[in-house]
Structure 1
Amino acid sequence: MSDEKPVKASRQQVYTLLVQVGRKPGDDLPAKATGGALMCYASGVDEAEAVRETVAILKQADLAVLEVEGHGSLDEQKEAGVEIDPEEEALMLRALDENSVIVAQMTALYD
């Protein structure tokens, strides 16, 4: 009889989130920016968990989260026929493997 435990399949998925942030002291956005947009890849058992984890991490980074727009899981995007760049998919899979949030792109916004 083996002492090894059976490997349990992960229920985690990776989600693409577009996060809009406002200004806050210490946010490291350019001086004249009015806010920013971040493309994030976050793991979670569902999109709501991925959003919660992303917001918590961004708040720790002194960012003022205004809105989060979910674009679905990697599987949902592929099923919908969305073309995903191999570099983006690699970042998504890294977020899934590390059970983390990855900020793939940050763009300053100006009025």
Structure 2
Amino acid sequence: MAGTSDHEKPPKKPSRQQVYTLLVEVGRSPGDGLPKGASGAGLLCYASGVDEAEAVRETAAILKQAEMAPLDVTGYGTISEREEQGHEVSPEERELMERALTENSVIVAQMTPFYGEKKAPLQ
């Protein structure tokens, strides 16, 4: 019969996932897609995770899959933590954060190439 089932899905549990704002410094590696002459870049990322440590691990793993060389990650917290610190969060940022949460993904929102001294990648 249409509309009835003994195998109804249980109500969806609220997600424990949150979105964290991360600034990731990457060095050079073959195939990274960074501009010629750049020694690396800073990537502003919005990453979902149950905590900031998970968001950092997932972001580093995804960047490595993209042939990038993560060097350092600075976490700026969740949107509410940022607002408590007095950060202004634009509607565009909120939209990207919502997308990261909905897709359970890492969004690279901005890339700023660096020119100068090279550093060794994180292991």
> Aligned partners of 1:28 and 1:15: how far apart in 2?
25
Query: What's the TM-score, normalizing by structure 2?
Result: 0.85
Question: What is the correspondence of 1:70-109 to structure 2 with a 5 Å cutoff?
Answer: 70-109=75-114
Which stretch shows the higher mean deviation, 76-85 or 27-36? 76-85
Q: Does the residue aligned with 1:39 lie in a helix, a strand or coil?
A: strand
Q: Distance in 1 between matches of 2:20 and 2:96?
A: 11
In 2: Cα distance, 1:46 partner to 1:86 partner: 23
For residue 40 of structure 1, what is the aligned residue in structure 2? 45
Indicate the residue corresponding to 1:21 in structure 2.
26
Q: Partners in 2 of 1:25 and 1:50 — Cα distance?
A: 25
Structure 1 gaps of 5+ residues are none
Match of 2:12 among 3, 7, 11: 7
Larger Rg: 2
Q: Please give the root-mean-square deviation of Cα atoms over the aligned residues, in Å.
A: 1.5
SS of 2:22 mapped into structure 1: strand
Identify the match of residue 65 of structure 2 among 39, 60, 64. Answer: 60
- Higher normalized strand content (fraction of residues): 1
Moved more, 13-22 or 26-35: 26-35
Output one character per residue of 1:54-94: Cα deviation in whole Å (capped at 9) or x when no partner: 00000000001100110001121122231101101110111
Structure 1 segments (4+ residues) deviating >3 Å: 1-4
Q: How many residues align?
A: 111
Identity of aligned residues (%): 65
Q: Could you list the runs of 5+ residues in structure 2 that have no partner in the other structure?
A: 1-5, 117-123
